[in-house]
Structure 1
């Protein structure tokens, strides 16, 4: 069987397959964390009693406002994750930016829901790592 008649996955190098796997992982992770952000935003918008409201700190916003912030970040992140899975190169850079904004938003949201915010920050960091490993391949 000649290389021209072989399927693409048989002629790919291990590095190419690894890159494809990491890119897919990054896209799925970005979309998953974005869904977490959307759910967090909906919970804050729909029912303010879900989160602690009496904390005084430097980044004080109304819980409903925080809900809209998380919802917007989540929707943009979900669209970006889908773009990465579709193979759009711009999705990787936008994904890093969205993850960075997500980290900042969750850091500022820590007083309202500390454990969840830290978990989401960890997932955003993992997303940035996965996307940055692919920048060399572009």
Structure 2
């Protein structure tokens, strides 16, 4: 009986990659949050916001950046049962980037694509069960 070629090779665990990506996303969101909080000319080009103001958006991004950093650390530790927290944080970041879409379309679409790639890795990671 011939087994499929992919059955002989164990699936690589890409959770450390997703953890590093989440930490990088946390840094990017942290920089965006700081720029919004100090009224940087980079983000004050558009003065229309659907809800809140620039400082409110900056604080929300800062909280999201801290959550992303913590989620990235949990992925680097390899704790598979807690991978739902990183999945929720990645979805929240993807939706948050839609706020920036009118101002920075290329940047927002890039971050959304990175979020979706990391989300795929987090949700499709194989579960390691102890077989005793």
Report the TM-score when normalising by structure 1. 0.77
How far has the Cα of 1:105 moved from its partner?
0.8
How far has the Cα of 1:99 moved from its partner?
0.5
1:114 matched residue in structure 2? 105
- Counterparts of 1:41 and 1:14, CA distance in 2: 43
- Counterparts of 2:99 and 2:24, CA distance in 1: 21
2:23 matched residue in structure 1? 31
How far has the Cα of 1:89 moved from its partner?
2.4
* Aligned-residue RMSD, C-alpha: 1.9
Q: Pick one of 33, 46, 52 that aligns with 1:53.
A: 46
How far has the Cα of 1:108 moved from its partner?
2.0
**Structure 2, unaligned runs of 5 or more:** 1-7
Contact conserved, 1:48 with 1:63, CA < 8 A, in 2?
no
- Counterparts of 2:69 and 2:124, CA distance in 1: 20
1:15 matched residue in structure 2? 10
**Structure 1, unaligned runs of 5 or more:** 1-12
- Counterparts of 1:63 and 1:53, CA distance in 2: 10
1:131 matched residue in structure 2? 122
Give the paired residue count: 120
Contact conserved, 1:55 with 1:112, CA < 8 A, in 2?
no
How far has the Cα of 1:36 moved from its partner?
0.8
**For residues 15-59 of structure 1, what are the alpha-carbon distances to aligned partners after superposition, in whole Å with 9 as ceiling and x for unaligned?**
25x12xx11111111111111111111111112422132346xx3
Q: Which has the higher helix share?
A: 1
